[in-house]
């Protein structure tokens, strides 16, 4: 698969997981310099990794929540929490992932992850009203 195919596959998968609004906003905010990074992440993360048939998007979302929690990447955790909800991961499953991460990564990380996800869930509730 050449880089054009990886980018096209990646952008489709990225949109399916994170939504058109997020992807469009991210791309619209990109200048010529940052476009290099956008291509990199779209081709490798989304075109190569996320587009592989070995795991479904729902499972990849759950893994991402756990890894982003472990790494303390809370801004990304918020983005992927929305994607996980849109891909069928339940609030109860997210809670269980965060409990597991808190035990293995430490309670400060777990606390911040719970705060981050709770904020996302509250925002999502407001949107539905």
Q: Please indicate, yes or no, whether residues 15 and 65 belong to a single structural domain of this protein.
A: no
The H-or-E segment that residue 66 falls in is helix 57-71
Q: Are 41 and 82 found together in one domain?
A: no
Q: For residues 114 and 94, is the Cβ–Cβ distance under 8 A?
A: no
Interval 117-122 mean pLDDT: 97
pLDDT at 24 over 80: yes
Give the model confidence (pLDDT) of 65-105 as tens digits. Answer: 999 999 999 999 999 999 999 999 999 999 999 999 999 99
Among 14, 9, 40, which residue's Cα sits nearest to residue 25?
Answer: 14
Where is the domain boundary, 9, 35, 54? 54
Specify whether 122 is located in the same domain as 61: yes
Distances (CA, A) of 65 to 3, 75, 118: 27, 11, 13
| pLDDT score of 2 more than 70 | no
Neighbours of 97 (CB within 10 A): 22
Average pLDDT, the chain: 95
Do 60 and 118 belong together in one domain?
A: yes
Do 60 and 50 share a domain, yes or no? no
- Residues of the domain holding 37: 1-54
* Closest to 120 (Cα-Cα) out of 87, 74, 88: 74
Residue 1 confidence class, pLDDT cut points 50, 70, 90? low
Phi/psi of residue 26, nearest 5 degrees: -65, -45
Per-residue pLDDT, 129? 82
Considering the domain architecture, whether residues 25 and 87 belong to the same structural domain is answered as no
pLDDT for 31-68, tens place per residue?
999 999 999 999 999 999 999 999 999 999 999 999 99
Instruction: Examine the domain organization and report whether 38 and 60 are in the same domain.
Output: no
pTM listed for this prediction: 0.89
20 in the same domain as 6: yes
> What CATH number did the domain enclosing 121 receive?
1.20.1290.10
- Let me know whether 21 and 79 are in one domain: no
């Amino acid at each position: 698969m050449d880089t054009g195919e990886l980018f096209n596959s990646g952008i489709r998968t990225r949109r399916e997981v994170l939504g058109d609004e997020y992807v469009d906003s991210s791309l619209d905010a990109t200048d010529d310099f940052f476009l290099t990074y956008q291509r990199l992440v779209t081709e490798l993360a989304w075109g190569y990794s996320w587009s592989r048939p070995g795991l479904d998007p729902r499972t990849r979302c759950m893994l991402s929540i756990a890894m982003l929690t472990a790494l303390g990447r809370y801004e990304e955790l918020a983005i992927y929490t929305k994607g996980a909800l849109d891909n069928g991961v339940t609030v109860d499953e997210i809670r269980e992932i965060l409990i597991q991460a808190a035990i293995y990564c430490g309670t400060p990380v777990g606390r911040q992850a719970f705060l981050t996800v709770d904020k996302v869930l509250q925002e999502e509730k407001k949107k539905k009203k």
